[in-house]
Amino acid sequence: MLDQKTIDIVKSTVPVLEEHGENITKRFYQLMFGNHPELLNIFNHANQKQGRQQRALASAVYAAAKYIDNLEAILPVVSQIAQKHRSLGIKPEHYPIVGKHLLLAIKDVLGDAATDDIMTAWEKAYGVIADAFINLEKGLYDKAGTQDGGWEDFREFKVDKIVQESDVIKSFYFVPADGGKIASFIPGQYISIRLKDIPGEQYSHIRQYSLSQCKDDSYYRISVKREDSINDRPAGKVSSFLHTHVKEGDIVELSAPAGEFILEDQSEKPTVLLSGGVGITPMFCMLQKLADQEQKTTFIQAAINGNIHAFRDAVKEIEENNESIDAYFCYEKPTELDRSEKHFDKEGYITADWLNQLISDKEAIVYMCGPVPFMQAMYEALLEIGIKKDHIRYEFFGPSMQLKEPQTV
């Protein structure tokens, strides 16, 4: 427990962290990777270059300072981060390294403003926060390792099958290399894949991918979009390697399923599954489960066109065989074939008016996944049509973030 003086000092730094938080976290990663380059085997290099990891950490540090006297208030965020840490292989021995370099970064950025009292208070606070994560993650590791078919860290899997789902999306089917069982999972969860042999890369690369199939417990399936270079954004190292180098029979390393963006056990309210692009991957898994339960579900998917769209036929088949399922597709730039075959229900973008037509029961629970701009627009549209904020569930690709609240006039 922290004494009141320490709590007061930490909370007094909230305005400073709001202003300088991202500079502190940028400096933190520079210092830590400079002294411990081996940690580059764990962290996502692309998120570092894009600044997403720095912004996410700055937000987490800010929240920790703000709620240092009531960490339970940020438990959902802490739990989400802990799930990601377990899937990456973050261990207790990593926390002293992080703490040391976070304190060095605070002192480096704030200079004389980081007084001895502030540094001492933050050292104590970090100890409490680190212990909370370590204890939470120990439970996650124990659960992952002791469940039927489970394991704690990474396990070798064989690529059993590869299926081209669209021009840019491939599905990869993985079975255990040891022939054993695999751990069960809840629709919406993800696995981490660790690749050590990407040409020209010194370090391992780990990425999280949602599980896109939940009808068979003998394999895991992920469906990966090939991220090509666009403007100043380079091509995705892992997605490109999976698409161009990985073949059936290859061995990869996977973590056990993780994540808290999961299909909840609720049958009294209808469900809306709302996705953009490859954000369909966790939604398709959820749809399969909801169809089995004959749960009233509205499935809404945005895609550029039918050439890019994965699982269209599979979704339509589920809809045709289940009276409880309604599926709608919105294509930004439909092809002539899309038009002639009536592959879509709306052209352009998903709008609040269209959502209002499709979602008749505003008490529905909404799950959504996709690119950040898509989810921000959908979040605002859902609130506009009367969906309650606490009925909206979402997950980002990459570091944890929060959607911005709509501006009020």
- The angle that helices 312-320 and 280-292 make with each other, rounded to 10 degrees, is 20
CA distance 153 to 145: 8
Q: 3-class SS at 231?
A: coil
Torsion of CA 99, 101, 104, 110, to 10 degrees: -90
Active site residue 95: yes
Catalytic residue among 22, 29, 62, 95: 95
Task: Identify whether the C-beta of residue 21 lies closer than 8 Å to the C-beta of residue 62.
Answer: yes
Task: Identify whether the C-beta of residue 246 lies closer than 8 Å to the C-beta of residue 159.
Answer: yes
Task: Identify whether the C-beta of residue 277 lies closer than 8 Å to the C-beta of residue 225.
Answer: yes
Catalytic residue among 137, 227, 319, 395: 137
What is the token pair recorded at 114?
A: 């980081």
CA distance 120 to 221: 48
Active site residue 190: no
CA distances in angstroms from 197 to 204, 235, 357, listed in the order given? 7, 17, 49
Task: Indicate if the alpha-carbon torsion angle 65, 71, 77, 82 is positive or negative.
Answer: positive
CA distance 205 to 46: 10
200-206 contacts at long range (C-beta below 8 A, 24 or more positions apart): 201/237, 202/40, 203/37, 203/40, 203/41, 203/45, 204/41, 204/42, 205/44, 205/45, 205/237, 205/238, 206/41, 206/42, 206/44, 206/88, 206/89
The closest alpha carbon to 285, from 227, 226, 216, belongs to 216
Q: 3-class SS at 349?
A: coil
- Report the catalytic residues: 95, 137
